Chains A and B, each alone.
Chain A
Amino acid sequence: MTEIFWLIPFVPALSAFILAVFGKILPKKYVSFQACFAVFISFTISVVSLLGLLRISHENYPIVKTLFSWIHSGSFESNLSLQLDPLSAVMALVVSGVGFLIHVYSVGYMAEDKGYTRYFTYLNLFTFAMLLLVMGSNIVLMFIGWEGVGLCSYLLIGFWYEKHSAANAGKKAFIVNRIGDAGFLLGIFFIFVLIGSGEFTAINKAISGGVITQGAATLIAILLFVGAIGKSAQIPLYVWLPDAMEGPTPVSALIHAATMVTAGVYMVSRMNMLYTFSGVAAQIVAIVGALTAVYAATMALTQNDIKRVLAYSTISQIGFMFIGCGVGAYAAGMFHLYTHAFFKSLLFLAAGSVMHALSGELDMRKMGGLKKYLPLTYPTFLIGAIAIAGVPFFSGFFSKDAILTQAYANGQYFIWALGIMGAVLTAFYMFRLIFLTFHGQERIEPEAKKHLHESPPMMTIPLVILAFFSVVAGYIGLPVVLGKNLNWFGRFLEPVIRVSHEAHLEIGTEWLLILISVAVALVGIYIAYVFYIRNPQIPHALVARFPFIYKLLYNKYYVDEIYNAAFVNSTVKGSEIIYDHFDLKVVDGAVNGTGSATNFSGKILSYLQTGLLKDYALVFLLGAILFLGYLLFF
């Protein structure tokens, strides 16, 4: 059964195609069924493929299925070929599994929307592109998927395109991603120039065979990472992700939390040999990740929009994943990606459920005390928050701890310290969110309160399933202190991620690090409790005391304004100048000049057209005489 793994991306593609062509005439019930079922088939095949993969010996990895030779031009060659190895199997499982639950949730969430079929077409198309991204066996196919998810992201952020802000957010996401993708594309070009093939196996062989120098590897790795910075919303290209929350909430959960934005982490893990070989590039990845983890978390502290807090939290968590990759613990980074997919999509879906209950209210200042009204949403939200905060025995704890331990073990103490700081902030802002939304006094608008209700089962069942996985997903990758063989996840990925030097710590140090992680999470939660439950005036006092810092954080460090002033406005101004002077004068001048020159010469020549029959006959006669003369005398 494993051989049919190449069908995984193409089932949703077929479904998207059918919906796009026949969507108008298909009944709504059938659309929901087909869209969900297509992803469910992908999920089933992913499970079967993963089980099949476990039975095959490591030497046979990866299984490559070449469908056909796609581009063949001179020495450039690129196939349409998919591959199955532990890394792509895990990703396919996460994408199709979480994707399926979010499809089901969307059936409830989008039920009243007039763009229902269009929504599911895009969502299926996205699933296809994302699965292609993670299963392509060469970097060109990865790029196709990479651009495909970018396109779907644009379409879905701007899904409610009549809303000005949504249309703008879509454009912003698309343009900011283009900046990163330009770097990614350059990286691909360098790979083809220096290595001659885009197949991942060939790239790995070239690196271990010493075909490229360390400098070249660093150049390629950094260029590829520029693409990852754009797609995974890291400093300095993160600005599009908070605005992307204009899209429907399930989209935020699927694309802007669980799958697409983590594509950068997947890419770095896929190219792990390149980054390890380069060294410098890996260090840059770790630094960017660590800075983003803290920086984004600080911005999450003051936001009042429930989805924006989660957006900044996503940026911060992806930073954690990059820390893992950057310090050489690719498996830990992937592990965090995997657990994060569950609890972050859970948080988004639960936030969507809260919005649904409050007739679309996003502002936490108009919530509070919702605990008793939402008996299913509240516990699931709480589980998600506990998981992301890093409380022991929940999935987020294991993955975050794995990353931080590895950072420490590899001697990256500065990065480890930043990570710890990020972890405190994470626990704090997540529980600030919980307390403001579900506890304390009610601040609900009377109008919204009338319609207050728990969401339908179509929405709550996915929440419960995701909550279950948010708890247990971590148990496949237990810390090394509990036993070497319990880190099943890490061992499973080993054939893909060749660990060059495994850093070992003494048992005592490891336990100490775990204790610090636990303490950090609990401290964060406790501060949030003191601030928002026991002494609600403390935050106000702090704001009054440090108005500058509060304003800076509240306005997101004014980065949007700085970018506007530095890049956007200058581009717009420059374009206007070019329009006024070059387009209007040179280009339009040339075009209009051609027109008036033709007009003028036509007017001159028109004097020859006298309209008199005799004149024409005379010209005819002269022509005949000249022609005869030519024949006679020459």
Chain B
Amino acid sequence: MIPLSYFLILSIILFVLGTIAFFIKKDLITMFMAVEIMLNAANLAFITFARSANSLDGQVIVFFIITVAAAEAVVGLAIILLIFRQKKTIKSEDLTLMKG
């Protein structure tokens, strides 16, 4: 039996990787993928705890997250596509319309 902590450590590594990637990458698609990685890190943590506590609640939430992530991917990609059509760029530094 693999100890619980292994799964959690993997989850943390994935989450931190996602965060770092979000901050250092410039184009929106990569940033978007970083966010997906963070979500899946959270999924892993949920499954882990669900298994150890022998409860179904965590698994149900994971399904929710997967569904929401799918929807989010649709909307997010659509937005990025439209931004590209208008600005001919998807670099996040170039998009400063909301500057005060």
Contacts and interface: CB of A to CB of B under 8 A. Distances in A.
| A interacts with B | yes
Interface of A: 605-614, 617-618, 621
Contacts of A617: 22-23
A262 B45 CA distance: 95
Interface stretch (B46-54, B62-70, B92-100): B92-100
11 contacts: A607-B100, A609-B98, A609-B99, A610-B100, A611-B97, A611-B99, A611-B100, A612-B96, A612-B99, A617-B22, A618-B23
Contacts of A607: 100
Contacts of A618: 23
Interface in B47-100: 92-93, 95-100
Nearest to B28: A613
Contact of B100 (A609, A613, A621): A609
A179 B99 CA distance: 61
B19 A621 contact: yes
A611 B97 CA distance: 6
Contacts of B96: 610-612
A613 B92 contact: yes
- The main secondary structure of chain A at its interface with chain B is helix
9 A-B pairs with least C-beta separation: A609-B100, A611-B99, A606-B100, A611-B96, A611-B98, A613-B92, A610-B99, A612-B96, A609-B99
Interface residues of B, number: 12
Contacts of B92: 612-614
Contacts of A611: 95-100
A610 B95 CA distance: 10
Kindly name the residue among A606, A608, A611, A618 whose own CB sees the greatest number of chain B CB atoms within 10 A.
A611
Contacts of A610: 96, 99-100
Nearest to B19: A621
Nearest to A605: B100
Contacts of A612: 92-93, 96, 99
Most chain B Cβ neighbours within 10 Å, of A605, A606, A607, A613: A613
A454 to B, nearest CB: 83
A617 B92 CA distance: 12
A235 to B, nearest CB: 70
B6 to A, nearest CB: 22
Given A610-B100, A614-B92, 16 more contacts: A607-B100, A608-B100, A609-B99, A609-B100, A610-B99, A611-B95, A611-B96, A611-B98, A611-B99, A612-B92, A612-B96, A612-B99, A613-B31, A617-B22, A617-B23, A618-B23
Contacts of B31: 613
Greatest chain B CB density within 10 A among A607, A610, A612 is at A612
A583 to B, nearest CB: 35
Nearest to A606: B100
A605 B100 CA distance: 9
A611 B92 CA distance: 10
A150 to B, nearest CB: 58
A609 B99 CA distance: 5
Contacts of A609: 98-100
Nearest to B96: A611
A608 to B, nearest CB: 7
Contacts of B23: 614, 617-618
A613 B79 CA distance: 14
Nearest to B25: A614
A606 B92 CA distance: 20
Contacts of A605: 100
Contacts of B98: 609, 611
